[in-house]
Structure 1
Amino acid sequence: MDFNPVLLVPIAFVVALGVFYLNHLAAKKRRELFAGFAAQQGWSYQPADDSLAHRWAGTPFRTGDNWRVKNVLSGAFDGRPMVAFDYSYQTHSTNSKGRRTTTTHKFGVVVLQLPGALPHLEVTHEGIFGGAVANVFGFGDLEFESDQFNRTFRVKADDERFGHAVVTPRMMELLLARGEIGWRIEGNSLIGWDQGAHEPAEVMNRLSLLQQVVAQVPPYVWKDYAGVDPRLQGPRHP
């Protein structure tokens, strides 16, 4: 019995419809999960707010296209304004046969508002372009007294003096113990991110880490670079 290739069309349609339906159910379940989580924490919840994709300039933003922000949580964490959300963008490639492939990149993002604006500083994990390889290609990072820290993290700062003032031995100890995400100071925002969708427990853990990062910044740094003293400020609310 010969197989009719025409039958592939309805079969492919049914499969695509099934995948769409399963994705729809998964997205609905995730919206319900985060809406309930927001209510428990006394936060606000929005299913989507793509305007947030334009608010910050560094990783993982401003690359690819079709920027999307979903499951937005906003409110206060330990008295400090915060926002957390699912972020995704797409990239495209074409193979030698002209076939175009689209890849969706997903991230979990958390942001804490800082007491004042500080210079740019980014701390990420060393990857395949870390260490000596990065230096050869002009992507060198700041070096610190801890060899373990230097092997584990990349620190980029517009102001080298500021970078060394923030990444103190106590900060390095904190990050070596639980620096599981990349983070960046961008103006008055402290942004943390990691690849893949995050869950409510991870949101809380990452916000806790960012709050500890804020607490480790020496008081003189806030005074010299932002003109504020967080020790004199009460709890902050959005």
Structure 2
Amino acid sequence: MQGGTVLVILLAVLVGGGLFYLNYIAAKRRRELFAGFAAQQGWAYLPSDNTLAGQWSGTPFQAGDNRQVRNVLSGAFNGHQMVAFDYSYQTHSTDSHGRRTTTTHKFGVVVVQLPGALPHLEVTHEGIFGGAVANAFGFRDIQFESEQFNRAFRVKADDERFGHAVVTPRMMELLLARGEIGWRIEGNSLVGWDKGAHHPTEIMSRLALLQQIVEQVPPYVWRDYAGVDPRLRQPPLGPGYP
């Protein structure tokens, strides 16, 4: 019996050590992938920078604990300052038998600096139940003339008038065609995110989408809400753009 117990312990140690090694190799290869990609694009690369976890609010930030920012890319993308990174946090639960489970939630995040600070606006997918159920529970979002868009997306804004000014028919057309990530205007940042680890090709695609979103914002919105002319050179980098 004792021999069997020792064998089980040895097997557990071997399996645990093997998993640790595989995770180490995978993380090392990912660092090398992103470092090489950053060099190709002329961007800066940092293996980690957990201070970025506190730069923005809302999804996927400010949830759980053990928040980590890895594989940070920063630089210029088509005239826009950007930062992209792997983000993760952990949540914990305990079942009826007292067994504790830790879940790691992973996201790919891309952020583009805006020409000026704008009011808060968030656009996400409706999810599996759609807007009708959410609205019934009081989680109301802004409604637009396009029912197809209303069924596909939730739009939340502190200022509903601002929400309608930004989400124009052309913006809706863009998002219906390729609105694959959630995004949020937060001050002078346009934050985009999706669940899971992203690949360099996805980063480029998502940055291109964020650039299109910025370009779809009408000029009068920049003048009236931010007091800037988006055609002029962007201001110096603010917090969150290393």
Q: Which position in structure 1 is the counterpart of 2:160?
A: 160
Kindly state the Cα deviation for residue 2 of structure 1 after the two structures are TM-superposed.
10
Distance 1:129 1:117 in 2: 33
Kindly state the Cα deviation for residue 132 of structure 1 after the two structures are TM-superposed.
1.2
Which residue identity is paired with 2:137?
A: F
Do the aligned residues in 2 keep the contact of 1:88 with 1:104 (CA within 8 Å)? yes
Q: Which position in structure 2 is the counterpart of 1:89?
A: 89
- For residues 42 and 69 of structure 1, do their structure 2 counterparts lie closer, same or farther at Cα, with a shift above 3 Å needed? same
- For residues 34 and 113 of structure 1, do their structure 2 counterparts lie closer, same or farther at Cα, with a shift above 3 Å needed? same
Distance 1:143 1:106 in 2: 30
Do the aligned residues in 1 keep the contact of 2:219 with 2:230 (CA within 8 Å)? yes
Tell me the TM-score normalised to structure 2 length: 0.95
Distance 1:132 1:84 in 2: 34
1:61-118 alpha-carbon deviations (Å, 9 max, x no partner): 0000000000000000011110000000000000000000000000000000000000
* Counterparts of residues 106-185 of structure 1 (less than 5 Å): 106-185=106-185
RMSD: 1.5
* Counterparts of residues 1-238 of structure 1 (less than 5 Å): 4-231=4-231, 233-234=232-233
Gaps of 5+ in 1: none
Distance 1:158 1:108 in 2: 26
Do the aligned residues in 1 keep the contact of 2:74 with 2:82 (CA within 8 Å)? yes
Kindly state the Cα deviation for residue 136 of structure 1 after the two structures are TM-superposed.
1.3
Kindly state the Cα deviation for residue 58 of structure 1 after the two structures are TM-superposed.
0.9
Do the aligned residues in 2 keep the contact of 1:76 with 1:237 (CA within 8 Å)? no
Q: Which runs of 4+ in 1 moved over 2 A?
A: 234-238
Kindly state the Cα deviation for residue 131 of structure 1 after the two structures are TM-superposed.
1.1
Which residue identity is paired with 1:221?
A: V
Do the aligned residues in 1 keep the contact of 2:166 with 2:221 (CA within 8 Å)? yes
Gaps of 5+ in 2: 238-242
Tell me the TM-score normalised to structure 1 length: 0.97
Do the aligned residues in 1 keep the contact of 2:84 with 2:203 (CA within 8 Å)? yes
Alignment: residue pair count: 237
Do the aligned residues in 2 keep the contact of 1:53 with 1:61 (CA within 8 Å)? yes
**Identity, % of aligned positions:** 76
- For residues 237 and 42 of structure 1, do their structure 2 counterparts lie closer, same or farther at Cα, with a shift above 3 Å needed? farther
Which residue identity is paired with 2:160?
A: E
